[in-house]
Amino acid sequence: MKVITRANELLPAMKFAQSVSKNNKDFDIFKYAKVTTDSDKILLTATDFECWFTTSVPAEEVEEDGIALIPISPMTKLLGQLKSDSDLLIDCDERGNVQVKCSGFSATFETPAPEEFITPEEEEQSELVWIDNAQEFADALSRVVHACPKRDEYIGADGVLLKREEDKITLAATNGARLALCYFESEEFASVLEHPAVIPQDSARHIVNLLSRAEVFGVVPGKNYITFATPESSLLIRLIERPFPKFNELLSKEFKPVIKANYKELLNALKRISPACERWVRIEIKDSVAVLSARTSDGVAEGKVKVNIEDSAEDFNDQIVLNPKFLKEALSAAESGEISVHERFVCIQSKNYQEYIAPVMAE
């Protein structure tokens, strides 16, 4: 393979490839991207074994067709040091060595054979269905993915659920202590999503990055994979097989709120006592007044602030203790709306978004 491209054309593709491949450090093969010549362009593919990122990069000249593997991190670092309009020659010899030349500079990399690159299992998929409002879907996905469990937590499926409900898609994520829900209205998407799909959380973040700058996006769900695409790039994502935790029972019950507070009032109050918020924040309700308080584990810092209540249940005096990180992330994702404090949880709700947070034990 021998091809000439521009450094500024290849660099964004390599940066995205680096964000994908860094999620899997178990095998050296994930440190490489596959480069394939295709007519007047280069196809670049990177994977972490959960998703496969593929994008096209314009080629100035294809002198010889072929396939090669290039090391992602060294190549990305190299491209960042070159002038943006520099011509870059990528040359792969018969022994698999890849030589990169640019403006009197050259570097040679010993790389694995292209056959060692891990490809997904073959699966029959339909054609892409193209949908408007790519940024709106990316925003909906970004508003729930923060509720996924950490790597060392096992709570059912470690990912984001996509589920069809009439002419909209419900997006959900939970770590067992909180549940985030967002809704994306799209007849086109709903028409092709026949079964619920659970996307790994890292892959969900890649989708957000891919679609956040696009106007339209394509999607095609399969049995084991789902594909998201823009006109230039695509993500083939392996779906999680474990069932997603059931949350419909929570939503089906009618919980009468004990107070309703203003979004900005609560967020400002939380910011004011944030230096004292380590593991918990207490919301005390007494005589139709809500007081937020927190204290560090060593007792050095303590904060307390009152919050105006828009509505409250009569004769209710109680308290609820929450994880401050969960509360702040939920308020940031909601951006506006209404906060309802119930006896067993807090609900943050705005247009097309809901988050439920369970209480914790204070120290």
Q: Quick check: 272 pLDDT over 60?
A: yes
Give the confidence band of 339 by pLDDT, cuts at 50, 70, 90: confident
What pLDDT was estimated at residue 252? 54
Helices 72-81, 7-21: axis angle to 10 degrees equals 140
Contact yes or no for 223/121 (Cβ under 8 A): no
- When pLDDT is averaged across residues 19-32 and rounded to a whole number, the result is 85
Contact yes or no for 218/236 (Cβ under 8 A): no
Contact yes or no for 329/275 (Cβ under 8 A): no
Q: Quick check: 247 pLDDT over 90?
A: no
Contact yes or no for 125/105 (Cβ under 8 A): no
Q: How far is CA 261 from the centre of its chain?
A: 29
What pLDDT was estimated at residue 151? 64
- Mean pLDDT rounded to a whole number for the chain: 87
What pLDDT was estimated at residue 156? 57
Instruction: State the pTM of this model.
Output: 0.90
Q: Quick check: 167 pLDDT over 60?
A: yes
- Domains of the chain (ranges plus CATH)? 2-116 (3.10.150.10), 129-249 (3.10.150.10), 254-357 (3.10.150.10)
Structure confidence by residue, pLDDT tens digits, 102-123: 877 888 998 999 999 999 988 8
What pLDDT was estimated at residue 251? 66
What pLDDT was estimated at residue 263? 74
Which ranges in the chain belong to alpha helices (H)?
7-21, 72-81, 134-142, 187-192, 201-211, 248-252, 263-272, 324-334
Q: Minimum mean pLDDT among 10-24, 86-100, 166-180, 309-323: which range?
A: 309-323
Higher local confidence (pLDDT), 249 or 218: 218
CA distance 340 to 45: 46
- When pLDDT is averaged across residues 18-38 and rounded to a whole number, the result is 88
- When pLDDT is averaged across residues 216-230 and rounded to a whole number, the result is 96
What pLDDT was estimated at residue 116? 92
